[in-house]
């Protein structure tokens, strides 16, 4: 079906499935897309989307709907949010009206923390994505998921996921095993020529990413799948080269720290001299040269340098109140900057370091086993053997900054639920990069 003629001044449009706390939704919106629909199953996450909508998803906001056959909102109208199972939705009313279908299907089937059952796990929602593609025929699809999909045990099934995205209209019958359907898809793909575009087919790009290489102050290894409808004749090879070009690097960070008055230290003038000396001693004598910008660090995020937009530094946490659930941002209007007592360090549970990108923010389904929410501080105390640095839990607001969420984001629920939403989210800066790249590729293809 041909797309509706679009006024050049109108923004591109998006539909967001598995929206969670809104990371990818905010990213696509910040990339210039007008949201037409959100879907999220978790009640707390839906509350977060509603609470944050006006400030993070645009003035039109969103509204809860129980309609399983929603229609696109008009200009100036709030986007519907369906707070239920995506498999219950009929999205045929959006056909020909969606530029990007975005979403991160639940990752638990493919993550170590989620037992990694893969296709056998009922939480696998990739089939729901393919159903949505069949009903809407979006111009492009963005899916983000855990790097566990690249594990050898999932290799064949991950190829099958990509094949289904290439041929979403070759619907698999429920009684047919996935590997048999994959053989059917491979036979079809073997007969096709890329120069014959079709609105029933997509070209797929798979990009393994470390979010730190895209300007996120966090080491976060993920997989991004991008698909373009073949009738649009997008230059997929040029797109793939562009998005795989590294923009930030560890080497550039080390170079910025190497000199006593290096750019990193000029940005953080209050770092104690013994911290600078300790870090500079660990820098290799030979550092790779590149044209990248420095990785952003946890200290950058807290001090407001964690994105391209400078933010105010977060209020310092009073070290005399580390054993209290004290709101350190209340006096200056910073939300959820609340201390949490009980942080520990032990073997296998090591903290974040301020002058490195943060560890991967995790949802903590089985707790947070690796110290991902603990940070080592500049301040230290002298023991009988050596100096020991103090440590504490990161606040929700600090964690949100590591995920490049705006400070206007309001997480619903207690601390653990907010951290779960953040751990399940797509970093906003990462999602925005890919959404903008998709928009530019579509612009070039459509002249």
Catalytic residue positions?
107
φ, ψ (nearest 5 deg) of residue 386: -170, 180
Tell me how far apart the alpha carbons of residues 103 and 33 are, in angstroms, rounded to a whole number: 14
Tell me how far apart the alpha carbons of residues 207 and 209 are, in angstroms, rounded to a whole number: 6
Tell me how far apart the alpha carbons of residues 46 and 58 are, in angstroms, rounded to a whole number: 16
Is 178 in contact with 197 (CB distance < 8 Å)? no
**End-to-end Cα separation, the chain, in angstroms:** 20
Starting at the edge strand found earlier in the chain, the sheet holding 352-353 runs 352-353, 374-382, 387-393
Tell me how far apart the alpha carbons of residues 262 and 372 are, in angstroms, rounded to a whole number: 28
Is 243 in contact with 436 (CB distance < 8 Å)? no
3-state secondary structure of 420: helix
Q: Which residue has the tokens 């997008």?
A: 234
Is 39 in contact with 27 (CB distance < 8 Å)? no
């Amino acid at each position: 079906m041909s797309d509706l003629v679009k006024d050049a001044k109108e923004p591109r449009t998006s539909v967001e499935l598995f929206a969670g706390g809104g990371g990818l939704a905010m990213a696509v919106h910040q990339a210039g897309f007008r949201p037409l629909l959100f879907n999220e199953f978790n009640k707390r996450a839906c509350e977060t989307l509603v609470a944050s909508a006006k400030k993070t998803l645009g003035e039109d906001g969103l509204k809860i709907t129980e309609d399983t056959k929603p229609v696109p909102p008009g200009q100036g109208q709030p986007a519907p949010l369906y707070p239920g199972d995506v498999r219950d939705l009929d999205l045929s009313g959006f056909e020909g009206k969606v530029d990007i279908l975005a979403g991160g299907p639940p990752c638990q089937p493919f993550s170590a923390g989620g037992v990694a059952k893969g296709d056998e796990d009922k939480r696998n929602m990739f089939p729901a994505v393919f159903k949505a593609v069949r009903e809407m025929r979006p111009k492009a699809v963005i899916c983000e998921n855990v790097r566990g999909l690249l594990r050898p045990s999932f290799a064949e099934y991950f190829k099958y996921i990509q094949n289904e995205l290439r041929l979403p209209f070759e619907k698999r019958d429920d009684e047919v095993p996935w590997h048999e359907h994959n053989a059917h898809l491979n036979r079809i793909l073997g007969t096709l020529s890329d120069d014959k575009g079709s609105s029933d087919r997509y070209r797929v790009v798979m990009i393994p990413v470390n979010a730190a290489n895209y300007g996120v102050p966090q080491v976060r290894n993920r997989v991004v799948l991008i698909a373009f409808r073949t009738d649009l004749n997008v230059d997929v090879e040029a797109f793939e080269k562009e998005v795989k070009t590294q923009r930030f690097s560890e080497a550039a960070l080390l170079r910025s720290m190497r000199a006593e008055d290096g750019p990193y230290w000029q940005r953080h003038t209050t770092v104690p001299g013994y911290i600078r000396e300790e870090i500079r001693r660990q820098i290799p004598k030979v550092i790779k040269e590149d044209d990248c910008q420095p990785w952003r660090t946890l200290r950058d995020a807290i001090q407001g340098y964690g994105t391209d937009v400078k933010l105010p530094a977060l209020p310092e946490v009073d070290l005399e109140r580390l054993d209290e659930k004290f709101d350190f941002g209340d006096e200056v209007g910073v939300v959820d900057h609340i201390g949490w007592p009980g942080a520990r360090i032990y073997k296998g549970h090591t903290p974040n370091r301020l002058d490195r990108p943060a560890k991967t923010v995790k949802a903590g389904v089985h707790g947070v086993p690796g110290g991902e929410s603990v940070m080592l501080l500049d301040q230290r105390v002298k023991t009988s053997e050596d100096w020991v640095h103090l440590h504490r839990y990161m606040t929700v607001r600090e964690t949100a900054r590591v995920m490049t969420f705006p400070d206007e984001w309001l997480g619903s629920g207690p601390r653990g639920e907010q951290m779960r939403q953040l751990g399940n989210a797509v970093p906003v800066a990462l999602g925005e990069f890919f959404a903008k790249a998709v928009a530019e590729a579509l612009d070039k293809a459509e002249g």
